[in-house]
């Protein structure tokens, strides 16, 4: 958590870090990924067997460079297969011999699904990447008896478990994370539901799924975290169910609550600060979870539900329409926004059990494939820094600096959220403090005293991401934004350049 005091006349900006003040454990799953049958995410992204450059394709048809990049990020969990796609997806179409798999019209993004990549291919890819799968259930045209959980997890002598064995996989996949639908509240959904209808269906499905496999983690479909949908489904679904849980008061049917927010603005400063709205959404949603538990008299022995922020990113659908593949070209301002997003998850680690950038490859993604290689967009670099270093515990931090006084996007931020020009989070892990400072100011750099670096600190590692202008981008021919590695002795003031992301790391 980072507290903030606006700079008063005559004051100098400061940042105070308290490494001994460990506030909440960071769940590594906040660095999760997301893959959907949309645009070039799967076909041409993860799976590219028809690429004439065979040097970058493995024996499974997977892109080796994508696999190596996901490993570089140490991605702990990947959501699949959607997204909106899942509302008409029947997993049975994507298993068994490829020559027998049907081609289907795809209604979410108005394409055709070949089903050449399905459950077993995704599970194989996850094993190679060394990440955990997270599957979303079809709450549109799907039914409870379709048997996906049985196919993935069952060890019994039953139909779908035997189908898995017939398809070449004896051992169960033991998929832990299962989403009860995706954005069922949205008018773009096939089988859009009212909050009342969704809550009833989700609760009934949850009972059956936990009876089949009580070890799984079930994730409720929320909206933004601050809507009447969120309140209603939490109130109706976060309750004690003695029958389905075998009389246990130490388990829950619902384990997590999903929320989605995308941010974007044509104004570079508003764009970079917009993710602060998600911070307020997390806080409100956490309070709604508490309210549901209080109203439903859930005993404290039942585990606290956490927030699964399983779609987040910078995305302007007008600039990068989903129907044409949503291939955003990200600017330096967008990279600053992604760093603020990640700062939010670190600061709110008490409440966030998982977060999944949407998406991991090609579609509104930091990573873009070409025929012969990869483009690491501006947004790749803050994600790399955070995923490698911002783990462990969130620590107490206080910021004193000037405030952005302009309009915000969304507008309600101005009454609910502080908007300092600097955005800060800090962690401690294995004897190292890591602190990220994002300077969204277009014109001004800040020289700041850092309280918390002691006299025994001889070396501070500095990692700086910046560029010549807010709208600079990376392309296949030129990388304009990357990470500059520097050092500092920790004495005096540290400079945070305009339009920059700076990570400081020192041992304690």
Which residues are known to be catalytic? 183, 311
- Whole-number Å distance between alpha carbons of 169 and 120: 8
- Which pair of tokens denotes residue 108? 């979410």
How many other C-beta atoms lie within 10 A of the C-beta of residue 418?
16
Nearest Cα neighbor of 180 from 87, 56, 317, 304 is 87
Helices (H), 9-166: 64-73, 119-129, 148-153, 159-166
| Tokens representing residue 116 in the block | 């050449």
CA 473 to chain centroid, in Å, comes to 22
Question: For residue 480, what are the β-bridge partners?
Answer: none
**End-to-end C-alpha distance for the chain, whole angstroms:** 20
Please check whether residue 440 is in contact with residue 51, taking contact to mean a CB–CB distance below 8 angstroms: no
**268, 404 Cβ separation under 8 angstroms:** no
List the one residue out of 312, 342, 315 whose CA is nearest residue 328: 315
Q: How far apart are CA 481 and CA 135, in angstroms?
A: 34
Alpha carbon of residue 311 to chain centroid: 6
**What is the rounded distance in angstroms from the CA atom of residue 489 to the CA atom of residue 491?**
6
Tell me the torsion sign for CA atoms 109, 263, 288, 25: positive
Calpha distance 443→421 (Å, rounded): 11
Phi, psi (rounded to 5 degrees) for 199: -60, -40
């Amino acid at each position: 958590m980072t507290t903030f005091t606006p700079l008063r006349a005559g004051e100098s900006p400061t940042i105070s870090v308290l490494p001994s003040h460990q506030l909440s454990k960071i769940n590594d799953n906040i660095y999760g990924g997301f893959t959907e049958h949309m645009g070039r995410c799967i076909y041409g992204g993860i799976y590219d067997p028809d690429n004439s450059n065979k040097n970058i394709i493995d024996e499974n048809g997977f892109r080796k460079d994508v696999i190596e990049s996901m490993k570089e990020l140490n991605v702990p969990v990947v959501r699949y297969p959607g997204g909106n796609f899942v509302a008409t997806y029947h997993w049975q179409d994507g298993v068994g011999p490829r020559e027998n798999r049907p081609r289907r019209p795809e209604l979410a993004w108005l394409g055709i699904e070949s089903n050449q990549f399905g459950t077993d291919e995704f599970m194989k890819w996850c094993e190679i990447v060394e990440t955990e799968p997270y599957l979303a259930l079809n709450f549109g045209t799907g039914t409870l008896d379709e048997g996906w959980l049985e196919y993935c997890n069952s060890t019994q002598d039953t139909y779908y478990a035997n189908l898995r064995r017939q398809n070449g996989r004896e051992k169960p996949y033991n998929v832990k994370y299962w989403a009860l639908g995706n954005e069922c509240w949205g008018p773009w959904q096939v089988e859009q539901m009212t909050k009342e209808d969704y809550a009833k269906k989700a609760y009934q499905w949850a009972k059956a799924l936990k009876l089949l496999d009580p070890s799984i983690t079930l994730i409720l479909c929320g909206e933004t975290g601050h809507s009447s949908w969120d309140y209603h489904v939490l109130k109706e679904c976060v309750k004690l169910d003695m029958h389905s849980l075998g009389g246990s008061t130490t388990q829950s049917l619902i384990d997590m609550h999903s929320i989605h927010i995308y941010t974007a603005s044509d104004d570079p400063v508003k764009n970079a600060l917009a993710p602060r709205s998600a911070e307020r959404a997390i806080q409100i949603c956490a309070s709604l979870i508490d309210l549901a538990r209080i109203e439903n008299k859930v005993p404290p022995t039942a585990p606290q539900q956490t927030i699964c922020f399983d779609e987040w990113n910078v995305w302007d659908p007008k600039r990068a329409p989903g129907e044409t593949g949503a291939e955003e070209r990200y600017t330096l301002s967008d990279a600053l926004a992604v760093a603020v997003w990640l700062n939010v998850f670190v600061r709110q680690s008490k409440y966030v059990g998982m977060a999944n950038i949407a998406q991991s490859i090609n579609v509104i993604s930091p990573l873009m494939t070409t025929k012969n290689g990869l483009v690491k967009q501006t947004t790749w670099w803050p994600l790399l820094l955070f995923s490698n270093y911002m783990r462990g515990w969130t620590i107490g931090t206080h910021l004193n600096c000037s405030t952005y006084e302009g309009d915000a996007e969304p507008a309600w931020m101005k009454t609910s959220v502080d908007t300092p020009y600097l955005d800060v989070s800090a962690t401690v892990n294995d004897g190292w403090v890591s602190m990220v400072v994002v300077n969204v100011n277009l014109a001004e750099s800040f020289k700041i005293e850092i309280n918390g670096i002691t006299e025994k600190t001889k070396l501070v590692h500095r990692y700086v991401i910046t560029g010549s202008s807010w709208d600079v981008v990376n392309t296949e021919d030129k990388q304009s934004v990357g990470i500059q590695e520097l050092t500092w002795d920790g004495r005096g003031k540290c400079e945070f350049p305009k339009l920059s992301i700076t990570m400081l790391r020192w041992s304690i």
